[in-house]
Structure 1
């Protein structure tokens, strides 16, 4: 079986099983693991020392599902504009199977089956150890990497995936992998991000996209966020809540040029 090997283990998160479990345990420190009836989450994808404790706020409330669809931005430029992986993915915590049947339902849609886009991309890979920490390896994933992120494409991707999820009859939860403002002073980043997040908490991705364009905001996974919200709303989501916001400055003490991170749950 062809396996997608980890490419950022030892960089974004520890390579060894024990150090990785220790790092994850640190991220979840003082958080109660209580699954809520949620359709999706927004989580960051930086190195665990920077954004892991923020991501943990969302993963602590994530419900157990048969399949997690993970939408991530394409930072590398490789592969198709919207690319689905059907390989199994390996992390130091073990292997996770792809939901190939659900993937096959998307054949002929805007979403291509293409492993090249995923080969060196970190935005989806870094989410897997969080899922494994919570639920072992008893779930499947559907990784979708988005190089094309305009709102029409993102809505179409979200709708196609939601319809496929509905047909499977399985419990499917959607994950959007995105950091927010990049390399701005802390107060500037926070002000920009709260303006964007306000629209997301109000379940208005059109307004989120308008505000992002208005400020030329540098949230890197805006397409995945719109796709996740579209899918979640199709499945019945009505509300969203910001669970945690922080910047890299909160972790490092350097507030001069930070990256913003948010954990949002959609129910």
Structure 2
């Protein structure tokens, strides 16, 4: 899985109003790019950082540029576009790169389910030996110390709801999976961010104890020289650490 077009490099000047970012391009122009991320983006918006944008030729768009990648520290990249993880997870499952979820013949997206009126990111069905798998996808980009990734990066009532819905599916005899898409090349393990959302951490541990499976796979965003590889594919499983 690749970015649709070659990315355009620039320098981050500022992010503001959540969805806007001013970026200086290599030719000296300053453009305003869409920031497709509603979260805090903690650690992913250092002023002056190298960033990469995609460009759309759709005349109906107000902003032609979309912020995709940021260099959070030298040679370490993160993807800040939260529209990407669901497609990354779906492509990885369909291509057989997630052995834990292999063998399902059908994969549907955004299926309504649960007592709290949620939509599941991926619903896998048609396995000869396993029940349908309800897969909730989460994007991980917060690294507070080298190698340590955390989720969430802000208090998430929605994320708490999703954990309750996954636990309910297990109680009904189904299979439920929390899938962390690690869009940060420096993260080597994922942990619950108890210091940010303690309730989420409590629910995550309760969910795992109750049979919800947790997976984490990292994207190959950077080439060996630290420049963008153009690849969004999930290439490396990483551990999820619930207790240090």
Band of TM-score, shorter chain? 0.3 to 0.5
Which structure features the higher share of helix residues? 1
Structure possessing the higher relative contact order (Cα contacts under 8 Å, 6 or more residues apart):
1
User: Normalized against structure 1, the TM-score is what?
Assistant: 0.33
Which structure features the higher share of strand residues? 2
Higher-Rg structure is: 2
User: Normalized against structure 2, the TM-score is what?
Assistant: 0.35
